[in-house]
């Protein structure tokens, strides 16, 4: 979606209506601590990076878990995020949170591809932990992006990636309306595509599926402004309700309720937003 302000509104509403961040936090505090305990073994200073951090809610969860596991460690943190409004929100959260003195934040208002160029010109250091959370969809070539960022890892480093699964409602919707809905700057890839790539390259990783749901009930109330924003987010099309041909809109709404995509529970339509959490090892 080109309109950054509307995208942000849609995304904030999506977060309110979905269990997305709760599912991520469950994983970060349940499974990720063992990984965080092992990165950069013996080091007192760690290099960490967030690619497509958004407003940084999840980054701050990861950092707080890292601090619990490694209280004596200081952190150099690279934030790579092209949306200045998101960066601003992230900076506000950092300024309101006490006890973050152990972290030095570096703000990079750029895309992953721009940051790659910037990095190649300016840095040679190795990273201990890099995350790409719900962002690989926006890369022109996700395989090249993963390959570059994985190459930055130090020997005990990890690349943490979160993506929707190939069985999620989003993936089914994209497949079903492949030719009718242009996905804008989102490439519509899923964790299945990433796993196929990682396997083909012989790269080692662990993958954990985490269930998540997105309450899209409001999409079915004609003229509901919040429903329209949610529909934009589901389709990744700006103002889908008013720009899509009536037949396409009706077909999309019908399919969104289909068991391929959603479950209906107590009058709510819950869209399948299951995610895979992948922890990729450093190159051998």
User: Among residues 6, 69, 76, 82, which is the contact residue for ligand SAM, using CB under 6 A?
Assistant: 82
Which residues sit opposite 103 in a β-bridge?
75
CA dist., res. 203 & res. 176, Å (int)? 31
Does residue 234 touch ligand SAM according to CB under 6 A? no
User: Among residues 134, 147, 176, 207, which is the contact residue for ligand SAM, using CB under 6 A?
Assistant: 134
What sign for the dihedral angle of Cα 261, 253, 191, 91?
negative
Does residue 54 touch ligand SAM according to CB under 6 A? yes
Nearest-CB residue to ligand SAM?
A: 54
Shortest distance (Å) from residue 165 CB to ligand SAM? 15
> In the complex with ligand SAM, which residue's Cβ is closer, 93 or 134?
134
> In the complex with ligand SAM, which residue's Cβ is closer, 133 or 270?
133
Tokens of 37: 């305990």
Alpha helices in 177-264 (DSSP H): 191-200, 225-235, 240-243, 246-257
* Antiparallel, parallel or unpaired: β 268-272 and 262-265: antiparallel
Does residue 138 touch ligand SAM according to CB under 6 A? yes
Which residues sit opposite 163 in a β-bridge?
276
Which residues sit opposite 74 in a β-bridge?
45
Does residue 83 touch ligand SAM according to CB under 6 A? yes
**Interface mask toward ligand SAM for 112-131; x: CB under 6 A:** x-------------------
> In the complex with ligand SAM, which residue's Cβ is closer, 62 or 282?
62
CA dist., res. 136 & res. 45, Å (int)? 28
Helix (H) or strand (E) holding 159: strand 153-164
Tokens of 237: 């099309």
The stretch among 53-61, 93-101, 252-260, 264-272 that binds ligand SAM (CB under 6 A) is: 53-61
Tokens of 67: 């601090």
Count of residues that interact with ligand SAM, criterion CB under 6 A: 19
CA dist., res. 24 & res. 12, Å (int)? 16
Does residue 184 touch ligand SAM according to CB under 6 A? no
User: Among residues 49, 51, 136, 282, which is the contact residue for ligand SAM, using CB under 6 A?
Assistant: 51
For the chain, the residue count is 284
Does residue 78 touch ligand SAM according to CB under 6 A? no
User: Among residues 1, 63, 103, 133, which is the contact residue for ligand SAM, using CB under 6 A?
Assistant: 133
* Contact residues for ligand SAM, defined by CB under 6 A: 11, 51-54, 57-58, 80-83, 86, 111-112, 133-135, 138-139
């Amino acid at each position: 979606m080109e309109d950054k302000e509307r995208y942000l509104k849609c995304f904030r509403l999506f977060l309110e209506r979905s269990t997305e961040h709760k599912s991520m936090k469950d994983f970060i505090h349940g499974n990720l601590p063992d990984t965080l305990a092992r990165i950069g073994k013996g080091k007192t200073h760690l290099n960490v990076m967030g690619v497509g951090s958004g407003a940084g809610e999840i980054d701050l969860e990861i950092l707080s878990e890292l601090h619990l596991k490694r209280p004596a460690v200081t952190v150099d943190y690279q934030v790579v995020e092209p949306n200045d409004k998101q960066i601003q929100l992230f900076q506000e959260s950092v300024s309101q949170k006490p006890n973050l003195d152990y972290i030095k934040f570096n703000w990079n208002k750029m895309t992953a591809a721009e940051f790659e160029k910037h990095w190649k010109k300016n840095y040679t250091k190795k990273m201990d932990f890099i995350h790409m959370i719900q962002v690989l969809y926006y890369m022109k070539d996700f395989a090249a992006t993963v390959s570059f960022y994985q190459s930055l890892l130090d020997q005990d480093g990890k690349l943490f990636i979160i993506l929707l699964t190939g069985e999620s409602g989003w993936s089914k919707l994209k497949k079903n309306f492949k030719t009718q809905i242009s996905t804008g700057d989102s490439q519509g890839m899923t964790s299945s595509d990433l796993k196929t790539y990682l396997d083909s390259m012989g790269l080692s990783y662990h993958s954990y599926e985490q269930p998540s749901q997105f309450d899209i009930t409001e999409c079915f109330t004609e003229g509901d402004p919040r429903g329209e924003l949610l529909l934009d987010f589901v389709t990744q099309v700006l103002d889908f309700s008013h720009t899509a041909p009536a037949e396409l809109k009706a077909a999309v709404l019908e399919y969104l309720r289909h068991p391929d995509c959603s479950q209906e529970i107590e009058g709510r339509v819950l869209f399948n937003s299951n995610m895979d959490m992948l922890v990729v090892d450093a190159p051998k």
